[in-house]
Amino acid sequence: MLEIRNLHASVEGKEILKGLNLSIKAGEVHSIMGPNGSGKSTLAQVLAGHEAYEVTEGEVLYNGKDLLDMESDVRACEGVFLAFQYPVEIPGVSTNYFLRAAMNSIRKYRGEEELDAIDFLQVVKEKTKIVEMDEGLLQRNVNEGFSGGEKKRNEIFQMAVLEPSLAILDETDSGLDIDALKIVAGGVNQLRRPDRSMLVITHYQRLLDFIVPDFVHVLVDGRIEKTGGKELALELEDKGYSWIEGAASTAV
């Protein structure tokens, strides 16, 4: 489904990703862990098509197509979804209105019929249950005045509505208490499907107790330095990142 080869990306002239390789098959859940500033969010933003990040080398194939060649809205229409580490507040636009516009844009791209307000509401009400989200939030402006937890739930809720085939979750667990974490992770688990892949970026091993990944990768200084199964996360929890960082620097 996703094939990243030798990806180099920089922001404001500074190289952040320095030759990253990653391959994700349909239905797999991959987790990326790594210290602050190692480039996790940069990877997520590059995959979603943020223009501030410049890809200087390498390629990304998504279902065999050149992902980097697509505008970010086309990527979304093709089924790529990013749950933002810091969801953006959009004053003046209700969640309901925004999400219907997004959904219809995607449906139109796929040649499907657009949903009217009533049908849409039906779909959406069902999906709020997945993350136990208060329906009242639908009438509120996108993320405006939402608590940290509400914002993260809203991201997963949007994912549930838009039904992507590749979901990238950037620290969706950060800042959540254990109850909220369980709800969000539970939502993500309900959305796991054989034809849907996930890239779960996290800073804390705890999330992986709830969303159990097929693979764990460790990102250090713009490169994946180690890959393993879910037990690698536990090892990182024990030892921290320094042993990998150390190995990485001696390898240079």
Which residues of this chain interact with another protein, rule CB under 8 A?
48-52, 71-73, 75-77, 81-82, 84, 87-88, 90-93, 98-99, 101-103, 105-106, 109, 141, 158, 162
Partner from Mg ion, another protein, ligand ADP, none contacting 90, C-beta within 5 to 8 A by type = another protein
Q: Which is nearer to ligand ADP, 21 or 141 (CB)?
A: 21
What token pair was written down for 215? 């693979």
Q: Residue for token digits 């197509």?
A: 65
- In whole angstroms, the minimum distance from the beta carbon of 71 to another protein comes to 7
Q: What residue type is assigned to position 210 of the chain?
A: F
Q: Which part of the chain contacts Mg ion (CB under 5 A), choosing from 36-44, 111-119, 184-192, 223-231?
A: 36-44
Partner from ligand ADP, Mg ion, another protein, none contacting 195, C-beta within 5 to 8 A by type = none
Find, among 220, 245, 246, the residue nearest to 16 by Cα. Answer: 220
Q: Residue for token digits 């993260």?
A: 152
DSSP alpha helix (H) spans, the chain: 40-48, 72-77, 95-109, 117-128, 148-162, 178-190, 207-210, 231-239, 242-251
Q: Can you spell out the DSSP letters for 150-190?
A: HHHHHHHHHHHHH--SEEEEESTTTT--HHHHHHHHHHHHH
41 binds Mg ion (CB under 5 A): yes
- In whole angstroms, the minimum distance from the beta carbon of 157 to another protein comes to 12
Partner from Mg ion, ligand ADP, another protein, none contacting 38, C-beta within 5 to 8 A by type = ligand ADP
List of residues contacting ligand ADP (CB under 6 A): 11-12, 16, 34, 36-42, 52
Q: How many residues bind Mg ion (CB under 5 A)?
A: 3
Residue number of the CB closest to Mg ion reads 41
Q: Which helix (H) or strand (E) holds 218?
A: strand 215-220
Q: Which is nearer to Mg ion, 40 or 151 (CB)?
A: 40
